[in-house]
Structure 1
Amino acid sequence: MKFGIRKPNITKSFKARTTDRLKRSIKKSLNPFYGTKGMGLVKNPKKSVYNKVYRKTSIGLFSLFKKIFKG
């Protein structure tokens, strides 16, 4: 488990920002549980708990900059 600052991944960040609305709406129409809160815990509880702890114990580089420059 990593604690502290996460290393940014430019390709994953770009992919997350460019996944278009059409693709998500198609997935939502095919799978009614797509994108609903808590489904990660149902599908893979071990990974879900790990990710929850990871997000609470580490901080992203960009969010760190936001906190510093915001005030």
Structure 2
Amino acid sequence: MKFGLRMPSLKRSIKARTIGKAKRAVKKAVIPGYGKKGMGWATNPKKAAYNKAYRKTSFSIWNLFK
């Protein structure tokens, strides 16, 4: 698990804003409950627990400028 500063990736950032955004819109239209708060705990609790800890122990470089 990573602790501290996460290094930004320009390639991943652009991909998330374009391709990823389109994929999420399609899934949200087709799958009921997709993207709702707390659904990660229902589908994959182990991954949800890891992600919760990861978000609390690491931060992005962009958070330093806020």
Q: TM-score, normalised by structure 2?
A: 0.80
Quote the offset at 1:16 in angstroms.
1.7
- Give per-residue Cα distances to partners, 1:39-69, cap 9 Å, x unaligned: 11111111111111111111101122x23xx
Q: Supply the distance in 2 between the matched residues of 1:11 and 1:47 (Cα, whole angstroms).
A: 24
- Give per-residue Cα distances to partners, 1:5-35, cap 9 Å, x unaligned: 0011222211222224x860x3222101111
- Identity among equivalent pairs (%): 53
Look up the match of 1:4.
4
Count of paired positions: 64
Identify unmatched segments of 5+ residues in structure 2: none
Q: TM-score, normalised by structure 1?
A: 0.75
| 1:54 maps to amino acid | Y
Q: Supply the distance in 1 between the matched residues of 2:54 and 2:44 (Cα, whole angstroms).
A: 15
Cα–Cα, structure 1 residues 5 and 38, in superposed 2: closer, same or farther, change >3 Å?
Answer: same
Identify unmatched segments of 5+ residues in structure 1: none
User: Aligned to 2:47, what secondary structure does the other structure show?
Assistant: helix
Q: Which stretch of the first structure deviates more once superposed, 53-62 or 5-14?
A: 5-14
| Higher gyration radius (CA) | 1
